[in-house]
Structure 1
Amino acid sequence: MHNLLTDIAGVRVGHADDAALASGVTAILFDRPAVASMDVRGGGPGTRESALLDPVNTVDGIDGIALAGGSAFGLEAGGGVQAWLAEQGRGFKIRDALIPIVPGAICFDLLNGGDKQWGRFAPYRELGYAAAAAAGERFALGSVGAGLGATTANFKGGVGSASAMTPDGVRVAALAVVNAIGSVTVGDGPWFWAAPFEVDGEFGGRGLPDHFTPDMLALRIKGGPAATAIENTTLAVVVTDAILSKAQAQRLAIMAQTGFARAIYPVHAPLDGDIVFAAATGEKPVDPLVGLTELGMVAGNVIARAIARGVHEAAALPFPGALPAWRDRFG
């Protein structure tokens, strides 16, 4: 295992981004259609094909997930991923028609210093195609893909990933794009809120402070008192090789949101658009009660770790006034 989302067999991840734009796309592809659902906790989400992930609706399997910057413009990334999958003959078959199923979500990065004057059409469809074409088993973390332009209250955000295995051998892994209104670190120090769940020093091994001061627990949000809605979102995808129904996948997504609360302070605000997609590749059976509960517990842990890694691995944008990266300040 490489501590990546692709530790789940049959899952591939690709990035495409533009340094001048300071934005990009991350594509998650499934070699076979995966059962999937989602849970939304933030007050300002931006999504594509979210309705079909409701357990009461018909389509069970998805072919990919598109995550993008660009706010609502970035929703076009799903069309690019869809186009690449269609060229591979992938999709939901209706007689002679084939329709790749690609839900997606976006985060706001339009004010990060990049050049967003793209003319008539935004570049996200082409970036989505390129991200899908680049998908593989190994992929970069930090300031790449959909996380290139991401920020938090005090440090540069980015793409993070983590994986784990239950005692019964069921794998769970997560990928997060961290663009939160809140902070992923405690106060002005090097400590990550997710420190109790860290594995093998994956985000610096700094632990937690000896005690929490009022300043550490004070409200720290991106933009301060001038903060506005829809500028902030953390996106996460959690995938397991368990056999789950669509309703069980939704329960997994709901439980996995716990990881946001373990890693971001504050979280699930009216100023966020926080979303978790949950997908299952259907390899290993799990008990529908205790087994699913354990799976959700572990999913929350890997999401917390992925969020911390997204900030730990990020690099600052090369623009005046850009937020520092965690590594710039703490090595």
Structure 2
Amino acid sequence: MPSEKIVRSVTQIPGVYAAHATDEAGATGCTVILCPSGAVGGVDVRGGAPATRETDLLRPEETVQELHAVVLSGGSAFGLAASCGVAEELERRGLGLDVGVARVPIVSGACLFDLACGDAHARPTAEDGRNACAAALDEPGRPLERGNVGAGTGCTVGKLTGQERAMKSGLGEDVECAGALVCGAVAAVNACGDVRDPDTGEVIAGVREEGGALGSSVEALLGGVARMPLARANTTISCVVTNARLTKAQATKVAQMAADAYAHAITPTHTTNDGDTVFVMATGSVDAPVDAVGALAVRALGRAIADGARQAESAYGYVAARDL
């Protein structure tokens, strides 16, 4: 069984840096997780409507072995610009893959749709990516903020019966330890379904009934009353960071295992209206069985998703779980 937590934030894992850029007025932002010395990366994309960058490069058969940053962003496809800013800031600092004539930072990312929350014309920019990258590198070890920050600023959940019955969600984090093995997870929770506690099954946030009480997205779907006026307007995007020593194939398998956390914490999940994506970054300082890493990652990510619903604050016309 995992031991008592000795690491509280992914920023306490050696070699890992993270920070946000938040546009509170526009209800959007981005979250950057960095491994400047290079991590082994993997990814699993299961949603039906993803907006991603450099996921093909993480396939085990591709030759690049380093991953320097993962960017989780709002803004739908427009938010991919934030990843460009992260790459520019890393290059400015001389960080990236040495290709002889230059250093090329390897930056992967995914975006969620938050255009219906706040200002639809507010999107994370390259400057936001640069600022978040600089903040992460200039303030090492600072715990990551959670809730209505970064990629979680404009997150909502429980949208299967319309935006008017949805709830506010946000960005969550959890870190789990098993001896020397550490797995941390950061998740921006913008699902069309409900968020549940993965340990108890209790619904934390999701679709609300006409009187305001929590309902069930699955029952609404099965009962034929679900409606999605904004199709493909959802996505839970996340990054698992571990100190395990993994190959790209093993990191990919851990990402596939970690995606099970979505099923533990979100109902329904991986729908045609979600763009669910899980990244893995392995720093390579601890030897551990791949299945143990995957199992610990599932626990961390499930709890991070629940944390995203619990840490959110009511905003932009959406009530949060803490205020029910």
- TM-score range relative to shorter protein: 0.7 to 0.9
* Aligned residue number for residue 208 of structure 1: none
Q: Is the 8 A contact 2:73 2:124 kept in 1?
A: no
Match of 1:327 in 2: 322
Q: Which residue of 1 aligns with 2:174?
A: 162
Q: 2:28 aligned with 1:18, yes or no?
A: no
SS for the counterpart of 1:109 is: coil
Percent identity over paired residues: 40
Instruction: Give, as a single letter, the amino acid of the residue that structure 2 aligns with 1:195.
Output: D
Q: CA deviation at 1:3?
A: 2.9
Q: SS at the partner of 1:272?
A: coil
Question: Is 1:43 aligned to 2:48, yes or no?
Answer: yes
Assess if the C-alpha contact under 8 Å between 1:197 and 1:301 holds in 2: no
Report the counterpart of residue 125 of structure 1 in structure 2: 126
Map of 2:37 onto structure 1:
32
Which residue of 82, 85, 90 maps to 1:85? 90
Q: Gaps (5+ residues) in structure 2?
A: 1-5, 159-165, 205-213
Instruction: Supply the distance in 2 between the matched residues of 1:24 and 1:214 (Cα, whole angstroms).
Output: 29
Cα offset, 1:124, TM superposition? 1.5
SS in 1 for 2:188: strand
Structure 2 equivalent of residue 172 of structure 1: 183
- TM-score scaled by structure 2? 0.86
Partner of 1:96: 101
Mean CA deviation greater in 141-150 or 16-25: 16-25
Residue 220 (structure 1) shift: 6.4
DSSP 3-state at the match of 2:79: helix
- Sort the Cα spacing of 1:215 and 1:55 in 2 relative to 1 into closer, same or farther, 3 A: closer
Higher strand share: 2
Does the CA-based 8 Å contact 1:13-1:29 persist in structure 2? yes
Instruction: Show CA shifts across 1:195-241 (max 9, x none).
Output: 3499xxxx9xxxxxxxxx996851369x9413443210000101111
What are the residue-to-residue correspondences of 1:174-253 with 2, within 5 Å? Answer: 174-184=185-195, 192-196=196-200, 218-219=219-220, 224-253=226-255
Q: What residue in structure 2 maps to residue 65 of structure 1?
A: 70
- Aligned residue in 1 for 2:265: 263
Q: 2:227 aligns to what SS in structure 1? A: helix
Assess, with a 3 A threshold, how the Cα gap between structure 1 residues 308 and 62 changes in structure 2: closer, same or farther: same
* Residue of structure 2 in register with 1:149 after alignment: 154
Aligned pair partner of 1:112 in 92, 100, 117: 117
Q: In 2, distance between residues paired with 1:215 and 1:17?
A: 31
1:86 counterpart letter in structure 2: E
- Corresponding residue number in structure 2 for 1:189: none
Q: CA deviation at 1:293?
A: 1.1
CA gap of 1:117–1:232, structure 2 versus 1, over 3 A, is: closer
List 4+ stretches of structure 1 deviating above 4 A. 213-217
Give the Cα separation in 2 of the matches to 1:302 and 1:196: 15
Kept in 1, the 8 Å contact 2:257–2:295? The answer is: yes
Mapped partners of 2:201, 2:252: distance in 1: 23
> Does the aligned pair in 2 maintain the 1:230–1:271 contact within 8 Å?
yes
Letter in 1 for 2:323: D
Letter in 2 for 1:292: V
Name the Cα RMSD after superposition: 2.3
Query: 1:183·1:220 contact (CA, 8 Å) conserved in 2?
Result: no
What is the number of residues matched between the two proteins? 297
**Distance in 2 between residues matched to 1:163 and 1:197, nearest whole Å:** 20
Q: CA separation in 2, counterparts of 1:327 and 1:46?
A: 30
Deviation string 1:44-95 (CA, Å, 9 cap, x unpaired) is: 1110111101111011111111111000000011011111111110011111
AA in 1 matched with 2:321 = W
How is 1:271-290 mapped onto 2 (pairs within 5 angstroms)? 271-286=273-288
Residues 155 and 190, structure 2, Cα contact 8 Å, conserved in 1:
yes
Letter in 1 for 2:292: E
Where in structure 1 are there 5+ consecutive unaligned residues? 185-191, 204-212
